[in-house]
Amino acid sequence: MNTDITRWLERDPDPKTREELQQLIDSNAESELADRFSGRLAFGTAGLRGIVGAGPNRMNRLVIQETATGLGKYLLEAVEDAAERGVIIGFDGRPDSKRFAHDTAAVLASQGIKAYITTHEAPTPMVAFGVKHFGAAAGVVVTASHNPPAYNGFKVYWGNGAQIIPPHDSGIAAKIDIAAKEDIKHLELEQAKQQGLLIMLSEPFYHTYRETIGQSKLLSNHTKPGSVSLAYTAMHGVGANLAEGMLADAGFTQVYSVAEQREPDGTFPTVNFPNPEEPGAMDMVIAEAKKHNATLACANDPDADRFAVAVRTDDGDYRMLTGDQVGVLLGHYLLNHTEQGQNLVGTTIVSSSLLGKVAGSAGANYYQTLTGFKWLTNVAMQKQTDDSRFLFAYEEALGYTVGSEVWDKDGLSALVTFAQLTAELAAEGKTVWDQLEAIYRQHGLHFNAQKSIALQPDTPPIGDALRATPPESIAGRQVLITDDLKTSQKLYADGKVENIDLPASDVLIYHLDGGARVVVRPSGTEPKIKCYYEVIENMTDDDTLATAQQRAQAAMDDLISRHQASL
């Protein structure tokens, strides 16, 4: 038998995964064993995420204990008072999450690092909040967010309350590699508690998060909340108690939860894929909204860091807003409800450019980052000043953060803020659709789409090919500017060159005449590229929202088909 497998069986503390591995050995499942032992789950800027099972290339108790050992050793070296400041740990409702969280606490405590752990399932944003609230050295959430039931994850926050970025990710990864070769130490939780190394975070902490968010000035607009009704689903996740409580605190009395999806259940029995963006995932909450003729059908994903909403239309049906539409509506609303000096807003390079225009017209400061919320918040901390404090950021994949209580996406504060925005509009006799149309009339209807394009396996790297012969036009539209993030240069059609202040990344952004944009992100691991498209249609006095959207859709279809053909 392979020595790696033998050693794994000796080290694995979990009889369940030892038995699973033994069955694979007995049935001579060579390809399955090869996959599980082909390497380790890579620890990156989001931490770990993978399928639960035996072996180093899966999520299991031994991988968690090795990861926690590496994290602890890195913290003790990198942060002077890490042991005393401690690490806050939370977990979602998946079958192994609590066990993994307890293993993490036991390993950290064995290194003398104080562990704060939630007594029961916790929304991811609440743990991010807790890092700052307790002044912890780091935070860990055991969650696979909206991934399918077979997955779990280990998400890490730094002491600033944001997700880790370089150099901490690679620093922790190096310590994990060392831990994987050594005996794992852990302290029984009862002993850790007696030694003052384990603090249980019970209901008062959940209430502190709820109260702090609720008392934020940005969430204090209580314009006739009783007049708006909304259906809500936690999507078998951890959001229901806090979502319902926070809405009640804000005065919303007509809230209807989808009972079948309210309690945490990591098997997600009523959805094929517990991601609100996936087709069918919102069906039950929309049905609940129809039953009560509610204004909104709202969802959090299973760890409650994302927010999705479908809005009732004039004909009584419900239509999903895109992440970009929600982001622009929230940004516009917050810029009109903020105090002086809190005016820094941002989004990512693949999200709509409309927020930048809304910010410009409000005299606010706007920034862009690479994709990923870790960049949105870490960059915001660098950019904010006393005269320009952080207000809001979003990414098109349904992630939003309102104010600086939570330095990560927070689906709960986004839910309450969107409900308050809707109530204020209703008090003025307007709908969400009216507001969206007003923004589009001022700045143009921005229409965004994403498409992954599969390439032949033997296709040379597409980024290199595009750089070797840069396109002068795409779909009949002239390329005015090319942003090459690999070389950190902005290249103008007239030959002018400027530097770009973003970390190097294999991304090309083409700015076309008429305001259209194409973003090309080659995959580093398989023969495909991800393309993000934006077209802008100016609205005439004769236009309705529907006619302008039809025109934008036609322009988008043309852009995508012609661009794909050119590749």
Q: Which residues are catalytic?
A: 145
Q: What angle do CA 168, 138, 136 make, to 5 degrees?
A: 140
Residue 164 DSSP symbol: P
Distances 98 to 108, 131, 153 between C-alpha atoms, Å = 15, 19, 12
Q: Is the peptide bond before 302 cis (omega within 30 degrees of 0)?
A: no
234 token code pair: 């936690």
Q: What is the DSSP string of 316-346?
A: S-EEEPPHHHHHHHHHHHHHTSPPTTEEEEE
Full DSSP string of 10-55: HH---HHHHHHHHHHHHTT-HHHHHHHTSSPPPPBTTBEEEEBSSS
Nearest to 85 by CA among 174, 161, 162: 161
Sign of CA dihedral 23, 26, 29, 30: positive
Tell me the helix, strand and coil percentages in the chain, rounded to 5. 40, 25, 35
Report in angstroms the alpha-carbon separations of 270 from 54, 149, 260.
27, 12, 8
Strand ranges (E), 318-476: 318-320, 342-348, 365-369, 389-395, 399-402, 445-454, 473-474
Helix (H) or strand (E) segment spanning residue 125: helix 124-134
**Could you count the other beta carbons within 10 Å of the beta carbon of residue 540?**
9
Query: E strands, 202-341, where?
Result: 229-233, 254-257, 296-300, 307-312, 318-320
Taking residue 486's Cβ as centre, other Cβ atoms within 10 Å add up to: 14
Beta-strand (E) ranges in 173-317? Answer: 198-201, 229-233, 254-257, 296-300, 307-312
Distance CA 58, CA 324 (A): 34
Alpha carbon distance 548, 540 (integer Å) = 9
Residue 332, Ramachandran bin (φ over 0: left; ψ between -120 and 50: alpha; else beta): alpha
Torsion angle, alpha carbons of 40, 43, 49, 55, to 10: 20
Question: How big is the CA angle at 242 (ends 240 and 248), to the nearest 5 degrees?
Answer: 100
Task: Look up residue 461 and give its DSSP letter.
Answer: P
Distance of CA 53 to the CA centre of its chain: 25
